[in-house]
Structure 1
């Protein structure tokens, strides 16, 4: 470090000290302004809170609108479903009525045949043939609808047969006699065959 003597200091022009002081003042002012400028660059807290509040309100309004739309759609769907149920019930009754009418119409000729057979009760042979024809006529109508008899022979099948009586037999679980014919409508048992089965007694 170089120290100036009093004489050397005296030789420094007066303007030089003034310039140095001005530079120092400018530097100090810049340092003072820097925090102020930084503070101006940041948003004010009340304004920021207001902006967030508006955003939340907007989101709530959007959700309320969406909820109303979903509620309206649900109500419409419920109304449509109720109308559908009523329509199906009405159509179901119509189908049932139509089915009953078809059956009755097909059985009318059988009724006519019975009336003719009853008029010939004095002639045993004619009456017998008349009954046989009625049976065949009725059976053909039911067979066309899917009716078929259940075989009641061989091993007892609890899904198709109903055992009313048991009798001593050399073989266990064998059908000995059919007491009442059973029937299936297509693939469904509508009446089990009532049978007598054999049991081995020791």
Structure 2
């Protein structure tokens, strides 16, 4: 009888192992499906966010087209372009984009890119003398470095 009990417990253990293995496989498959679903939702969200931004850019494109069609005078054209520039800056600000300030600042390699150096004894060593291209931050991360001329004494 002891042998039968021992065999039963071995059989029961094998069944239990089989059940647990199947459960583990199901859980793993469910987790893989969950990961795929989350990745898809992330992509969908990014596409929607991009679509919203693109729709707002389309309004600005419309204004560019109107400005280009205005065959009146130079002054109206300039006003139209200034309006479009203001709209673009407003859109960027709304998206969390900020300009990197360079005027009178010390060179910072994390936000500035030195293009050339100059020598101005009236300024401090490492002070930015000129900005060639404005840099931008997106929520405190560098989107584009400011291209600058740096004072070297």
TM-score by length of 1: 0.68
Shift of 1:159: 0.8
- Name the count of aligned residue pairs: 150
CA distance in 2, matches of 1:196, 1:55: 88
Give the whole-Å Cα distance in 2 for the aligned partners of 1:97 and 1:172. 46
Measured in 1, the distance between the counterparts of 2:87 and 2:127 equals 33
2:33 pairs with one of 83, 86, 91 = 83
Alignment of 1:1-202 (within 5 A): 51=2, 53-120=3-70, 123-153=73-103, 154-170=105-121, 171-200=124-153
Larger Cα-atom Rg: 1
Shift of 1:98: 1.2
Of the structure 1 ranges 188-197 and 82-91, higher mean CA displacement relative to structure 2 is found in: 82-91
> Bigger relative contact order, structure 1 or 2, given CA contacts below 8 A and separation 6+?
2
Greater than 4 Å deviation, 4+ residue runs: none
Distance 1:121 1:161 in 2: 41
Structure 2 unaligned blocks of 5 or more: none
Q: Deviations over 1:130-189 (max 9, x none)?
A: 111110011111111111101113111111111111112333211111110011111211
What's 1:22 paired with? none
Question: Residue 122 of structure 1: CA displacement?
Answer: 5.2
CA RMSD of aligned residues (A): 1.7
Q: TM-score, normalised by structure 2?
A: 0.88
Gaps spanning 5+ residues in structure 1: where?
Answer: 1-49
CA distance in 1 between partners of 2:9 and 2:130 (Å): 82
Shift of 1:55: 4.0
The structure carrying a bigger helix percent of its residues is 1
